[in-house]
Amino acid sequence: MRPERMQSRQGRRPLALAAAGVAGSLALAACSGGEGDGSGPTDLSFASLDQGSAWYNYAVSMGQLIEPELSDNSVVEVLTYAGSIGNPELVATGEADLATSFSAVTSWAANGQEGTPYEGEAMDNLRVLVGGLDQYYFGPIAAGSGLESLRDAVENEQPLHLVSQPRGSLGDAGTNLVLRAYGASVDDVTAWGGTFEPTSTDVATNAIRDGNADLWVQAITAGHPNVTELAETAEIEILPIDDQAIAELEPLGLQAATLPAGSFRGQDEDVQLIGFTTTIIASADLPDDVAYAVTKAIVEGAEELQSANASMSEFDPAAAWTEEATGGVELHPGAQRYFEEAGLMD
């Protein structure tokens, strides 16, 4: 099945409507031709996530802005897979030209980071085009069971009942990384008499709501829909991550980030968590002029993108090239040239 093409600028719908209505694809399209090589239109495949997700909407919105920056009749084809863990591999192997990723995840993949799903498999051809599109957190979500501190739980060898998203997912990786930052592991928790169940988001949500689980470490945003619904129907607490644990996680491209008070019902104070952002990534093999055009479209279309995607409200194009925004992964030369020429790296 060939992916449906993005609508061109002529007569296109507003981004907010297009993001909701343009279908993605279950096929992959390679980059054919280049903006500067005279070989004709540039077809780009853009890996995101399933329809209805924030990343799918990002890709659709960006595709509409990117197409006019390329040669005539170029198209951006949005792929409805593979998500946070799979997207870097799609780009590294050339199965997708562009992808949404997380700053920390791209860093893990590029470096073959120990203790992550990419351990021992460095994808050193990954490059960042634009970073810092939004703000995500690893949030330890505790049920109303009296759990107040991860540090105390580990030091007291508390038999916690943990849930997470499926094995190999970002939620699974986050659970293991947060525990490791406190000097523990899933195996330790089960040895203390606790349990660990990798499962679907819905099952994890219900387990916390029904008191069948004590802790769920999840990648969240302020106002995350699943957590918002959970907070409306159960007593939960977003547990802070202390300075000592954050110091353990910083080498993995994770930084301290504050979840603002009022992000969820009952959360009346700011909570210190670890944060990461969405980035747009490509392979080092993407032609420089194409990378330049994609970067230009996203940066100069920032206001339009923010109007279409509320979760991008914090996107600061002037900081989109910084180490904090990119997770320390190398910028694509074409992207760097754009930032330099736009005067954003002065």
Pairing label, strands 136-143, 215-220: antiparallel
**Rg over CA atoms, the chain:** 20
* 101 token code pair: 């990723």
128 close to 326: Cβ distance less than 8 angstroms: yes
Q: Name the helix (H) or strand (E) containing 72.
A: none
| Residue 103 dihedral angles phi and psi, to the nearest 5° | -55, -50
With the C-alpha atoms ordered 306, 288, 252, 112, is the resulting torsion angle positive or negative? positive
* 182 token code pair: 């406190």
Cα separation, 304 vs 105, in Å, equals 27
283 close to 125: Cβ distance less than 8 angstroms: yes
Tell me, what's the pLDDT at 83? 87
Task: Give domain limits for the chain.
Answer: 15-134+277-341, 136-276
Place of tokens 């792929």: 79
* 323 token code pair: 């180490």
Q: Give the number of residues written for the chain.
A: 346
Closest CA to 33 of 24, 23, 43: 43
Tell me, what's the pLDDT at 214? 94
Place of tokens 């300075």: 243
Closest CA to 223 of 316, 105, 144, 136: 136
Tell me, what's the pLDDT at 15? 52
Asked if domains 15-134+277-341 and 136-276 share a fold, the reply is yes
Tell me, what's the pLDDT at 250? 86
**Which CA distances in Å does 333 have to 43, 129, 282, 339?**
20, 9, 11, 10
Class at the top of the CATH hierarchy for domain 15-134+277-341: alpha beta
| Residue 22 dihedral angles phi and psi, to the nearest 5° | -90, 130
With the C-alpha atoms ordered 307, 308, 310, 315, is the resulting torsion angle positive or negative? negative
- List the pLDDT tens digit at each of the 346 positions of the chain: 333 333 333 333 345 434 444 443 333 333 444 444 445 578 999 999 888 788 999 999 999 999 999 988 899 999 999 888 999 999 999 999 999 999 999 999 999 988 788 999 999 999 999 999 999 999 999 998 678 899 999 999 999 999 998 887 888 889 999 999 999 999 999 999 999 999 988 899 999 999 999 999 998 888 888 899 999 999 999 999 999 999 999 888 788 999 999 999 999 999 999 999 999 999 999 999 999 999 999 999 999 999 999 889 889 999 999 998 998 999 999 999 999 999 999 7
DSSP 8-state symbol, 307: H
Tell me, what's the pLDDT at 163? 96
CATH architecture of 136-276: 3-Layer(aba) Sandwich (3.40)
